[in-house]
Amino acid sequence: MRLFLIIPIFFILTGIAIAAPEKSPQQPADIAVFMSELGKRASDFKTLKTDFIQEKKMAMFKEKMVMKGRIYLQKPSKIAWHVDSPIRYSVLITDKLIRQWDSDTDKVQEISLVKNPIFQNVLNQMNVWFSGNYGSMLDTNTVTVVKTDPLVIEFLPKESNIAKKVIKNITITFRADQKYLQQIRILENSGDVTTIRFSNTQLNPPLDSTNFEVKGRV
């Protein structure tokens, strides 16, 4: 299924590597308060449009898999990924279903999340990353501030988090204004690295139904 090629880690659970500084910055006195305030700054929007470049570096191979496209988000629970290269592919994710289309088959496939509660939970976690509700990640992750300018935060899955079986850590880098993400980097236990970089991000742009179509996009 192409879905797993497009967003491999997010759908299992939820490049330019970020190097940690020689000396870690002082950690917030109350990480819960810090994350809550950060979430407020980074979630103050209803719609979003952004370009993205996703790189997948597999430990077993020298070449990177690179995909480029656009993401549209409409709160509370609608996200569309449109990949423009190297293939044309679209995925619509809602709280009830996943609908996908690719240019090779020119067919639309639909997966019901009502019948897949585990998958639904995974996608709900993914929605947290894009919607800005970062404080909710404290229950399942150990959170560390790696850098303050720009703000870089590392998430280590706790023992009780099923993600620990696959993910070693997730590092997110914020824009200078801390209103949205600049980059997500996922390091897997296998050594594979997925990096998603965002650019030309617009908060509260006007969106319509065509932004969430998954068939025959030009």
Q: Rounded to whole angstroms, how far apart are CA atoms 214 and 28?
A: 43
Nearest to 129 by CA among 6, 4, 14: 14
Q: With a threshold of 0.75, does the pTM exceed it?
A: yes
Q: What is the pLDDT of residue 4?
A: 41
CATH number at residue 65: 2.50.20.10
Chain segment 5-60, per-residue pLDDT in tens: 444 334 333 333 333 344 567 788 889 899 888 888 878 889 999 999 999 888 78
Whether 66 maps to a domain, the answer reads yes
Range of the domain at 145: 3-16+29-212
Contacts of 180 (CB under 8 A, 6+ apart): 42, 48, 50, 132, 174, 198, 201, 203
Chain segment 148-199, per-residue pLDDT in tens: 989 999 999 898 887 788 889 989 999 998 888 899 998 989 999 999 999 9
Number of domains in the chain: 1
Which percentage of the chain shows pLDDT scores above 70? Answer: 82
Residue keyed to tokens 């585990």: 118
CA distances from 198 to 55, 70, 97, 117, 168 (A): 12, 9, 25, 29, 22
pLDDT band at 112 (very low <50, low <70, confident <90, very high): confident
